[in-house]
Amino acid sequence: MRLSLQHVSIPIPADGDDAGRAFYGGLLGLEERDVPPKLDPSELVWFRVGDDLELHLYHSDERPNPSQHLCLRLDEGLAELRARLEAAGVEVEDTTEIVGRPRFMCRDPFGNRLELTEWE
């Protein structure tokens, strides 16, 4: 038996679809995908992340855990992405170095914590 990660779901407020699309689709460049039939697309926004992975935004009143995070890895362009986020007013912060994996942290418009990295 082999397990692999298929998706990560993160909460957004009910009125957060546009902000989620602007951040994840616009700033990070993720491709939005259709929500499958039988699920309510008015409560979900889905993005492709890489080949087989997905990021699901779902409407919820829950608050994000302040230290829990997800990590997105770029093939290249980490410095350019950081500059784009900063230019858009997103606060970024350096974190403990991992050799061969430059990285930084930020939060989406809803307070969900993200790590962005590039493996050398």
Contact yes or no for 106/28 (Cβ under 8 A): no
pTM for this predicted structure = 0.93
Contact yes or no for 31/25 (Cβ under 8 A): yes
Q: Which domains can be identified in the chain, with CATH numbers?
A: 7-118 (3.10.180.10)
pLDDT at 31 (0 to 100): 97
Percentage of the chain beyond pLDDT 90 is 88
The 3-state DSSP class for residue 53 equals strand
pLDDT, tens digit (0-9, with 9 covering 90-100), for 53-70: 999 999 999 988 888 999
